[in-house]
Structures are given as structure tokens and as C-alpha cells.
Amino acid sequence: MILARFLGARVWILIAAILAAAILVPLSNLALPADHPLHVPSYLVPLFGKYVCYALLALALDLVWGYCGILSLGHGAFFALGGYAMACI
């Protein structure tokens, strides 16, 4: 309950919207037929995942660098290692 008091109503609405999008994008790819107007093509699902991954990296670097004033090269290193590992598979 401490977290509910700390975060405002707008933040909870944003979290719910992000979770809904994370559930609805793959579901609309799998469940809806290809001629449906809400169908998401197969090539867009990993593209959305990449955008979310880049946004997560940017947010993490912004928080660490902006609030703490520390340039964290660890975030970039782990992101690069993950990209290298995915390219090798």
C-alpha cells in the first residue's frame, strides 16, 4: 500500500495502458485474421519489442545520469552484450 500512496493516479493509468498494449499487440497478431482491421502484422511485433527495449535503456540512462549525475557505462555494456548474444544465436 505504500507504493499506491507514493505513485499518483496518472502513473497507474500509464502503467495499465502499457500493460494493455503489451498484451493486446501479440494477441491481435495471433487471434485476429489477417483481413481484420485491428490485425497487427507479424513483422511489427518484434519491432514494437525493439522500441520498448530502446525506451527502457533510454529511461534507465536518463534516471541514472539525470538524477544521480553518474554516467553509467554498465547499462550500455549490458545492452551491447545482449545485442551481441542475440546476433550470435
Tens-binned pLDDT, residue by residue, of the chain (89 aa): 566 666 677 878 888 888 898 899 899 999 999 999 989 999 988 888 888 888 888 888 888 888 888 777 887 888 888 888 888 76
Question: Do both 47 and 32 map to the same domain?
Answer: no
Domain count, the chain: 2
Structural domain including 87 reads 43-89
pLDDT at position 41, please? 92
Q: What is the CA radius of gyration of the chain?
A: 17
pTM score of the predicted model: 0.65
Question: Do both 36 and 47 map to the same domain?
Answer: no
pLDDT at position 1, please? 54
Residue 64 to residue 67: CA distance in whole angstroms: 6
Residue 80 to residue 53: CA distance in whole angstroms: 12
